[in-house]
Amino acid sequence: MLRYVFKRLLMMIPVIIGISFLLFAVMNLTPGDPARLILGEHALQSDVDKLREEMGLNENFFVRYGNYLKDAVRGNFGESYMLGLPVSEVVLSRFPTTLKLATGAMIIAVLIGIPVGIISAVKQYTIIDALSLFSSLLLTSMPGFWLGLMLILLFALKLDLLPAIGSDSWVNYIMPSITLAAATLAILIRMTRSTMLEVIRQDYIRTAKAKGAEGKRIIFKHALRNALLPIITVIGINFGIQLGGSVIIENVFAIPGIGSLMIDSVKMKDAPVVLASVMLVALLGGLVNLAVDIMYIFIDPRIKSQYVKG
């Protein structure tokens, strides 16, 4: 087990290096001069050239990338062009906000999506099933920015119940979390329904019913456990995406998270911040996927040998 985890962690290293190289290339090949952006349009060219020399922007591309990797291995990701602060400090100061938003959204999606999906499967072809499918289709069809604006209009402007912007307290996260959870909630409803329908039609479920097992025991002990693998996969994938920072949601609700930081950094060609942010997201995504794979082993012991050998 530990060997498998160690191998997976080692596999993440070339992935992160590859991502860093691609981003470094993109940030250097796209139009725009970070030195010019820092000093302003009316700055003298001599001042811009001097700043470029100080920032090391005149060196060869591969030399600069090699120096960046050496510093990154030591934990030094450089300084932000925009703020003049250490990149690690800038990124880590924003990450807890995104983590709170992503966690709140996932909790809402799981607490509502899985029960609704189970009820929809058990009550197939009833009005409850039709309403759940309609709700999931509606949530999937609504753009996140539109849903966020509608929530602001209703709960912040009309009813004056919730704050429209900011991240000062847990109340500020209610509307953003609901908005971010909408798409994942729709996916969970459909996925839970389809996997539960597939499982409850298996022979061992019919046998349990024939033996007189209680309906709730059949659903939650036998059927749900065997239907959890694809559901957990959906949860893990979407949680990893949300940890990347929902750019649209953070901008709609003016939340200072990773997503809004990356957008501002790309505009200013603040390459150190962009690189550190994306590598952090990639690392967290890999760790979330690893956690999902480990959960597979505890949910379904039959696949333990496959993961350990892999």
C-alpha distances in angstroms, 135 versus 78, 128, 129?
A: 47, 10, 10
- Separation of CA 191 from chain center: 19
- Residue 79 backbone phi and psi in degrees, to 5: -115, 150
pLDDT at 112 over 90: yes
Would you place residue 113 in the very low, low, confident or very high pLDDT band (cuts 50, 70, 90)? Answer: very high
| 140 contacts: CB under 8 Å, gap ≥ 6 | 183, 186, 187
Residue 54 pLDDT grade (very low, low, confident, very high; cuts 50, 70, 90): confident
Q: Are 154 and 207 in contact (CB under 8 A)?
A: no
For the chain, give the mean pLDDT: 83
Backbone angles phi, psi at 86, to 5 degrees: -55, 135
The position carrying tokens 């030399």 is: 63
Instruction: Provide the 10 A C-beta neighbour count for residue 218.
Output: 19
Q: Are the beta carbons of 269 and 261 closer than 8 angstroms?
A: no
Q: Is the pLDDT of residue 280 over 60?
A: yes
Collect all residues with Cβ–Cβ distance below 8 Å to 47 and sequence separation of at least 6. 39
Instruction: Please spell the DSSP secondary structure of 168-199, one letter per residue.
Output: SSGGGGHHHHHHHHHHHHHHHHHHHHHHHHHH
Residue-level pLDDT at 45: 80
pLDDT at site 50: 82
Q: What is the pLDDT of residue 177?
A: 92
- Which spans in 156-299 are helix H? 174-200, 203-210, 215-217, 224-243, 247-252, 258-267, 271-299
> Which range has highest mean pLDDT (38-47, 175-184, 246-255, 299-308)?
175-184
The answer to whether residue 309 scores a pLDDT higher than 60 is no
* Superfamily covering domain 87-309: MetI-like (1.10.3720.10)
User: How much is the pLDDT for 214?
Assistant: 74
More confident residue, 222 or 235: 235
Answer whether 123's CB lies under 8 Å from 132's CB: no
Q: Name the pLDDT band for 234 (thresholds 50, 70, 90).
A: confident
What is the predicted pLDDT for the residue at 303?
63
Q: What is the pLDDT of residue 295?
A: 79
pTM of the model: 0.81
129-143: average pLDDT: 89
Distance of alpha carbon 228 from alpha carbon 234, whole angstroms:
10
Q: Tokens 């012991």 label which residue?
A: 301
pLDDT, tens only, 61-77: 888 888 888 888 888 88
In the prediction, which pLDDT does 301 show? 63
Domain ranges of the chain: 87-309
What pLDDT is stored for residue 302 in this prediction?
63
- Residue 254: the pLDDT is 85
**pLDDT at site 107:** 93
φ, ψ at 217 (rounded to 5°): -65, -40
Say if residues 235 and 222 touch (Cβ distance below 8 Å).
Answer: no
Kindly provide the b/e burial profile for residues 87-112, where b requires at least 16 CB atoms within 10 angstroms of the residue's own CB: bbebbeebbebbbbbbebbbebbbee
Q: How many CB atoms lie within 10 A of CB 244?
A: 21
Q: Give the mean model confidence (pLDDT) for residues 95-120.
A: 91
